[in-house]
Amino acid sequence: MHNNLRNIGLERSLTQEELAVAAGITRPYLSDIEWGKKMPGGSVVLRLANACGVSVEGLFFLEAVNHNEQVASEGRQCDESTTTSI
């Protein structure tokens, strides 16, 4: 999964070490997360988002996610896929 950790760190002039300490993780683990080699658990994701001052979505998605739109879209796909013509 893509993440914005590197960009956010650069925007805030944070080193990997500073961000890792703020999130309570090691710098190598943070690097692995940035490069997509590891996917952090929920508590680490929350600590990273808090340390960066952004939402979890802001950390792991390029664009904001509109959950209502996503649910509506998924519902339409299900309805369309279950419709058959004879």
What are the backbone dihedrals phi and psi of residue 54, each rounded to the nearest 5 degrees, phi first? Answer: -130, 170
pTM: 0.68
Amino acid 81: pLDDT:
44
Question: What single-letter DSSP state applies at residue 84?
Answer: -
Amino acid 2: pLDDT:
76
Q: What's the CATH number of domain 5-82, 3.40.50.720, 3.60.15.10, 3.40.50.300, 1.10.260.40?
A: 1.10.260.40
The rounded distance, in Å, linking the Cα atoms of 5 and 80 is: 37
Amino acid 61: pLDDT:
74
Per-residue pLDDT of the chain (86 residues; tens, 9 = 90+): 578 898 898 899 999 999 999 999 999 999 999 998 999 999 999 999 999 999 888 888 755 556 665 555 455 554 444 444 44
CA-nearest of 23, 24, 66 to 5 is 23
